[in-house]
Structure 1
Amino acid sequence: MEDPKIPYRYLGNSGLKVSAICLGTMTFGQDGSRPGCDEASSHALLDRFILELGGNFIDTSDVYQFGVSESIIGRWMEKHPSLRSKIILATKVWGPMDKNDVNARGLSRHHIITEVEQSLSRLRTDYIDLYQIHCWDTGTPLEETLGALNTLVQTGKVHYIGVSNVTGWQFQKIIDLSRAMGLTKIVSNQAQYNLLCRSTEWELLEVCKIEGVAMLPWSPLKGGLLTGKYKRGESPSSDSNSRLAWVEKDKATRANQASPSLSDYADNEQYWELIEAMKTIATVHDATVSQVAIAWLLAQPTVSSVVIGARTVEQLDENIGSATLTLSKEELETLNAKSRVPPPYPYEMVTRLQRGREH
């Protein structure tokens, strides 16, 4: 890891540096519910990302295949103990980990304290670099959640705290209450953000700007919709192992924000115009449409690292290529225009009335 091929960036206003590409591991482990990687393939991805390309940022969650993803990472870590201090390991807590235990979910002190020990055991490490709440929890007082997370930092089991999948007002309340209580500050927000999900900019990105928090986009390719591999009127092959094909096989129960449906965009003219613009830009740079999508994210304010998922080394290498792809101002403006979604009230009105008031 002496000569990284992936540039490093600070994680928000913290002193921690992470690779501009973060290896997301939701694909690690095969439970039959969706396309994934077996352990050998997962370890090959970690070898390539960390040992050969110089990446240092890995993201997982306790709920990914009910701990299997964390366990696969832990067994790889055990084979490379000297690398532990060089790797920034992130995981999350919230999801249901025992269907027969009503307390094995959410953000109560009980679940957080219990589950961090399980994550540490599966990851075969003494500490977690970035511990993130995986969603807001309506059932638990925020003071209880933040107090529990602060305890983990004080005991050294966690080094930094982040959030994921929260609304704008929830995000700001978390930050404000942490500050008022004198607790560990929030350093990152992992949220869906891509050229087909621009609503993240309306509040979440603005809070990140104001508070110095890192934005960590997940689903940069919108589940495959931003790869440019599909043509108008074409459906993913029924025997394909892609996520889009998996969704289409049972769209009624599988389609959601994390797993979108290609057929939902079949008649969306703006989508197809965006893809054509991305193809044109990719040709200029001798790049791929996927690389253009990720490079656009890396050019956005407060983005410290983009969380990518891969099932093969080839997919990983393609995504890594975006880290050194620089788009021109004109190209960025073209992508912004082609993907822009008219903001609803009050965002449109507030933004319009602020013109000329910027510092």
Structure 2
Amino acid sequence: MEFRHLGRSGLVISEIAYGNWLTHGSQIEEDAAVACVHAALDEGITTFDTADVYAGTRAEEVLGRALKGQRREGLEIFTKVYWPTGPGKNDRGLSRKHIMESVEGSLRRLQTDYIDLYQAHRFDYETPLEETLRAFDDLVRQGKVLYVGVSEWRAEEIKRALKIADEMGLDRIVSNQPQYSMLWRVIEEEVVPLCEREGIGQIVWSPLAQGVLTGKYLPGQPPPAGSRATDQAGGANFIKGLLTDEILTRVQNLRPIAQELGLTMAQLAIAWVLQNPNVSAAIIGATRPEQVRDNVKAAGVKLEADVLKRIDEVLGPVIVRDPAKTVSPPRRP
């Protein structure tokens, strides 16, 4: 495993992180989830990402049990707050009330005394940003949170948060968690340049484009049985926008590149996002331990400029850079 600093912070994380968005507590049984976490630990992954909303808080519980007994100082545990976790009007958003109550729930479910990185899962347009940032700062001062970050914030929202934090003397954002892959490159135009200047690292989700970049979905054929595209309770709605014959055909044309490099399609896709120097980690998920063991082989892979150019030429017009001009794939909660 290779390691990187999270932005310009002092926190060092594994460049491949393990995430449990669509798996723990919903898609797979707990024994399989625990086996995947233990496989990640065996392969040198120290960074684990979750959120209170995943599987209705059950994902945090499963991760907490899976990591129980591990040396806490050797782990980086990330979670998030924003989406509804209860029926009340204050069981959502980034108000001080919801943040302060949510962090206690996350700490309890994760069975830990502190969270390494606490992230605002989306931007809250109904709560003053000053209120949110002050609450995050208070959690840092209390020692319940070590670092704060955001997820899927636009460049102008990150910029506003940095300005307020500097003016009020609050803890600054050190990370952003966006969707990023060979197919979905929206952050490159505005978010990445801003974050590079401000010392904010990207912890990217869906580097495999919901599994499309593994090459297992073939043009003109139904999705494989048991794949995310057939899981109506989980990932089917998130992947259907990517399952066009044009996208799937171009993805298949990446296969010779991967073979020449001695990589699987998945390893090529994960290695690709890690070539971006602003990326601190790529999040992988898994339903089986062997998927973890396969994907971690992307760590430390160097892709030369000519390879990156060939990838761009193969994918061509299916690359999404501006969602305002292109039909975008569905986004996760």
Shift of 1:96: 0.4
Match of 1:118 in 2: 105
Match of 1:245 in 2: 230
The question of whether the paired residues in 1 share the 8 Å contact of 2:178 and 2:187 is answered with yes
Match of 1:208 in 2: 195
Match of 1:17 in 2: 12
What letter is aligned with 2:50?
A: T
Bigger RCO of structures 1 and 2 (CA < 8 A, at least 6 apart): 2
Q: Which deviates the most, 301-310 or 319-328?
A: 319-328
Give me the identity figure in percent: 37
How do 1:94-113 and structure 2 match up within 5 A? 94-99=82-87, 101-113=88-100
Is residue 55 from structure 1 mapped to residue 45 from structure 2 by the alignment? yes
Q: TM-score, normalised by structure 1?
A: 0.85
Q: Which deviates the most, 117-126 or 19-28?
A: 19-28
Shift of 1:30: 3.7
What letter is aligned with 1:43?
A: V
The question of whether the paired residues in 2 share the 8 Å contact of 1:297 and 1:303 is answered with yes
Shift of 1:208: 1.4
The question of whether the paired residues in 1 share the 8 Å contact of 2:185 and 2:321 is answered with no
Match of 2:298 in 1: 322
What letter is aligned with 2:291?
A: Q
Gaps of 5+ in 1: 1-5, 348-359
- Please, which of 24, 32, 39 is the counterpart of residue 30 of structure 2? 39
Q: Take 1:263 and 1:77, find their aligned partners in 2: how far apart are those partners?
A: 34
Query: Given the superposition, is the C-alpha separation of residues 93 and 263 from structure 1 closer, same or farther in structure 2, using an over 3 Å criterion?
Result: closer
What letter is aligned with 1:156?
A: G
Match of 1:187 in 2: 174
Match of 2:160 in 1: 173
The question of whether the paired residues in 2 share the 8 Å contact of 1:128 and 1:158 is answered with yes
Is residue 310 from structure 1 mapped to residue 305 from structure 2 by the alignment? no
The question of whether the paired residues in 2 share the 8 Å contact of 1:193 and 1:219 is answered with yes
Q: Take 2:234 and 2:144, find their aligned partners in 1: how far apart are those partners?
A: 41
Query: Given the superposition, is the C-alpha separation of residues 121 and 263 from structure 1 closer, same or farther in structure 2, using an over 3 Å criterion?
Result: closer
Match of 2:328 in 1: none
Q: Take 1:122 and 1:214, find their aligned partners in 2: how far apart are those partners?
A: 27
Is residue 135 from structure 1 mapped to residue 122 from structure 2 by the alignment? yes
Shift of 1:116: 0.2
Shift of 1:106: 0.4
Match of 1:283 in 2: 259
- Please, which of 51, 69, 77 is the counterpart of residue 59 of structure 2? 69
Shift of 1:204: 1.3
Q: Take 1:326 and 1:67, find their aligned partners in 2: how far apart are those partners?
A: 37
- Please, which of 211, 223, 240 is the counterpart of residue 261 of structure 1? 240
Shift of 1:297: 0.4
Is residue 78 from structure 1 mapped to residue 56 from structure 2 by the alignment? no
Q: Take 2:240 and 2:59, find their aligned partners in 1: how far apart are those partners?
A: 25
Q: TM-score, normalised by structure 2?
A: 0.91
Query: Given the superposition, is the C-alpha separation of residues 345 and 56 from structure 1 closer, same or farther in structure 2, using an over 3 Å criterion?
Result: closer
The question of whether the paired residues in 1 share the 8 Å contact of 2:219 and 2:244 is answered with no
CA displacement, residues 146-197 of structure 1 (integer Å, 9 cap, x when unaligned): 0000000000000000100112211211122212211101111000000111
Structure 2 residue matching 1:9: 3-state secondary structure = strand
Match of 1:355 in 2: none
Match of 1:91 in 2: 79
Structure 2 residue matching 1:281: 3-state secondary structure = helix
CA displacement, residues 283-317 of structure 1 (integer Å, 9 cap, x when unaligned): 11221111101101000121111011111111111
Q: Take 1:345 and 1:191, find their aligned partners in 2: how far apart are those partners?
A: 14
Match of 2:146 in 1: 159
Gaps of 5+ in 2: 326-333
Query: Given the superposition, is the C-alpha separation of residues 53 and 250 from structure 1 closer, same or farther in structure 2, using an over 3 Å criterion?
Result: closer
* RMSD (Å) for aligned C-alpha atoms: 2.2
Shift of 1:262: 6.1
What letter is aligned with 2:28?
A: C
Q: Which deviates the most, 298-307 or 334-343?
A: 334-343
Shift of 1:343: 5.8
Q: Take 2:322 and 2:288, find their aligned partners in 1: how far apart are those partners?
A: 39
Q: Take 2:252 and 2:199, find their aligned partners in 1: how far apart are those partners?
A: 32
Q: Take 2:82 and 2:234, find their aligned partners in 1: how far apart are those partners?
A: 26
What letter is aligned with 2:29?
A: D
The question of whether the paired residues in 1 share the 8 Å contact of 2:150 and 2:177 is answered with yes
After the TM superposition, which parts of structure 1 deviate over 2 Å for at least 4 consecutive aligned residues? 27-31, 76-80, 270-275, 336-347
